[in-house]
Structure 1
Amino acid sequence: MDSNDCIKDPNDFDWEKAWANEVGSKKREKKWTKDTPKIHFEKIAVKDEYHEKLIPKLILGDEDTVLDLGSGEGAVTSLIAEKVKSVTAIDSSPVMLDMLKQRIEHYNIDNIDIVESDIEDATVDNVGKFDVVVASRSFMGIHEIKDTIINIQKIAKKYVFLVVFGRNNWKLEKKFYEEIGKDYPDFAPYDYLFNLLVSLGIYPNIENFDLVGNRKYDDIEDAFIRMKWKMNNLSEEEVDKIRPFLEENLTLNKEDGKLENLEDKADLVLMWWKIK
């Protein structure tokens, strides 16, 4: 973590307000809906380098209960379930939870419970207490971030693990926005969250995953679909520029026959702390 990312005394600044300003509207737009291209669901369901690096970092016991906030289709949830007594998965998208149900049935998993709810609505009163709380890439769109952190502090008995996006995330998409002269709808900076935690008396361990792998695409159409699904703030004219941009910026990997760009990868940061 760069020392310039935070100030000497986080209490000297309103990090909650700064975070809210970056997130924008209090009403979060649901990322995964029935209109999201099905091909994208199929791509994200695959275990990848991130999952392989995340699970060993989680402190989990055989008898632990885990709350997975923003579980999505369950790639992380199902891996955690292999190591603990039970997992409760919370997500606001019925589509993603349907995929999780299919995953549970396919692999005959019997220790995952599902709750359809916004992360912000999870409190100790309506979900109870859990040994460990995990939020994998699901905190970046939360507006009421301070209240949410306070809630999970009450829910967790042992540990909290948060994975958020760093500042060097998805450079290929950022380059596209730069070329069309438009601000990229980036996530709130992770250092805002770090400083907010410190201002609340929480001193998290912090580590960058330093992922090596980048995204791979079968062809330009595959890349277009997977890039376009979250570009609903673009005009038709701007969307028409996506394919030419991809054709110019993706190259063929001769070893696997996939299209790629080495800068087209995630920058992920793990923050975790022990409950005192």
Structure 2
Amino acid sequence: MSSNDCVKNISTSDWEKAWANEVGSKKRQKKWTKDTPKIFFEKMAVKDEYHEKLIPKLILNEKDTVLDLGSGEGAVTSLIAEKVKSVTALDSSPVMLDMLKQRIEHYNIDNIDIVEMDIEDATVDNVGEYDVIVASRSFMGIHEIKDTILNINKIAKKYVFLVVFGRNNWNLEKKFYKSIGKDYPDFAPYDYLFNLLISLGIYPNVENFDLIGNRKYDDIEDAFIRMKWKMGNLTEDEIDKIKPFLKENLTLNKEDGMLENPADKADIVLMWWKIK
């Protein structure tokens, strides 16, 4: 039996269970809450190599309506808004949406609407139909993955674009967890999502962005804040170990004055399909 035959013999429920087992028995704890220190959008979302490669991949025109699922502070949302009739930014975090509101006001953007909602709760009945759905790095922690996919396939009229993490991602965080003797709470592998889509009769185009650049930080405090709020399951003693770890593992880039780790690159995969 070939590997392709093996994949065909695995049911939707099998892939759904495999995904759920990786995600965990319940929704992940929100990283950005009312207790998160005040951060301005300029600090969190700077246009970078990822954005430059993503936007040309999206099939958009000036008459399109777009639903941005898990919009966050709106770095992608605002770039899409430049190319379409309107964008609805949907996110469950008031902190992220506050930063999006700052962005909208700062740049005087008039075609972005905001909906505070969990991605899993979005249906055609409560958000309506849109020409295009974009979910930029926001699907990997979703527990009810099959129902969410089926819902977005009803909401979208033309295209769905999902940006997910590859297996070689977050190496700096993984190294930190190893240094403190803990297993890294990784996302479900993207290939589970790919096979789940196939089992549902959705045949996505798949492309790895192969990004060249790595993440950069103004200073140790900047790196600490950005790492700390990704690690909600750490004890206070373990959090105290983050700064010493960063001091040991980040180096100064003399050309731009930023701290970095050359191995700390994002592994990004784009899956997209046309609605039949």
TM-score bracket, normalised by the shorter chain, equals over 0.9
Which whole-Å CA distance do the structure 2 matches of 1:11 and 1:116 have between them? Answer: 39
Query: Partner amino acid for 1:152?
Result: I
Which residue of 2 is the match for residue 105 of structure 1? 105
Check conservation: 1:11, 1:199, Cα contact below 8 A.
no
Structure 1 residue 27: Cα displacement:
3.1
- SS of the counterpart of 1:147? helix
Which residue of 2 is the match for residue 220 of structure 1? 220
Q: Which moved more, 1:87-96 or 1:19-28?
A: 19-28
Structure 1 residue 9: Cα displacement:
2.2
Cα 1:265–1:184 change in 2 (3 A) is: same
Structure 1 residue 40: Cα displacement:
7.8
- SS of the counterpart of 1:71? coil
Check conservation: 1:204, 1:272, Cα contact below 8 A.
yes
Structure 1 residue 36: Cα displacement:
2.1
TM score, norm. by length of structure 1 = 0.94
Cα 1:10–1:143 change in 2 (3 A) is: farther
Cα 1:181–1:41 change in 2 (3 A) is: farther
TM score, norm. by length of structure 2 = 0.94
Which whole-Å CA distance do the structure 2 matches of 1:117 and 1:126 have between them? Answer: 10
Which residue of 1 is the match for residue 58 of structure 2? 58
Which residue of 2 is the match for residue 12 of structure 1? 10
- SS of the counterpart of 2:76? helix
- SS of the counterpart of 2:195? helix
Check conservation: 1:37, 1:229, Cα contact below 8 A.
no
Which whole-Å CA distance do the structure 2 matches of 1:262 and 1:252 have between them? Answer: 11
- SS of the counterpart of 2:102? helix
Which whole-Å CA distance do the structure 1 matches of 2:135 and 2:8 have between them? Answer: 23
Check conservation: 1:120, 1:148, Cα contact below 8 A.
yes
Q: What does 1:1-276 align with in structure 2 at a 5 Å threshold?
A: 8-13=6-11, 14-39=14-39, 42-276=42-276
- SS of the counterpart of 2:140? coil
Structure 1 residue 195: Cα displacement:
0.3
Question: What percent identity do the matched residue pairs reach?
Answer: 86
Provide the aligned C-alpha RMSD in A.
1.7
Which ranges of structure 2 fall in alignment gaps of 5 or more residues? Answer: none
Structure 1 residue 113: Cα displacement:
1.1
Deviations 1:92-113 (A, max 9, x none): 1111112111211221211111
Query: Partner amino acid for 2:222?
Result: D
- SS of the counterpart of 2:135? strand
Which whole-Å CA distance do the structure 2 matches of 1:24 and 1:17 have between them? Answer: 10
Query: Partner amino acid for 1:196?
Result: L
Structure 1 residue 171: Cα displacement:
0.7
Which whole-Å CA distance do the structure 1 matches of 2:124 and 2:70 have between them? Answer: 16
Which whole-Å CA distance do the structure 1 matches of 2:39 and 2:96 have between them? Answer: 13
Q: Which moved more, 1:246-255 or 1:58-67?
A: 246-255
Cα 1:166–1:10 change in 2 (3 A) is: farther
Which whole-Å CA distance do the structure 1 matches of 2:151 and 2:9 have between them? Answer: 20
Check conservation: 1:205, 1:271, Cα contact below 8 A.
yes
Which whole-Å CA distance do the structure 2 matches of 1:159 and 1:198 have between them? Answer: 16
Query: Partner amino acid for 1:75?
Result: A
Which ranges of structure 1 fall in alignment gaps of 5 or more residues? Answer: none
Deviations 1:159-180 (A, max 9, x none): 0000001100011111111121
Which whole-Å CA distance do the structure 1 matches of 2:164 and 2:5 have between them? Answer: 20
- SS of the counterpart of 2:158? strand
Structure 1 residue 39: Cα displacement:
4.5
Query: Partner amino acid for 2:263?
Result: E
Check conservation: 1:40, 1:226, Cα contact below 8 A.
no
Which whole-Å CA distance do the structure 2 matches of 1:109 and 1:155 have between them? Answer: 24
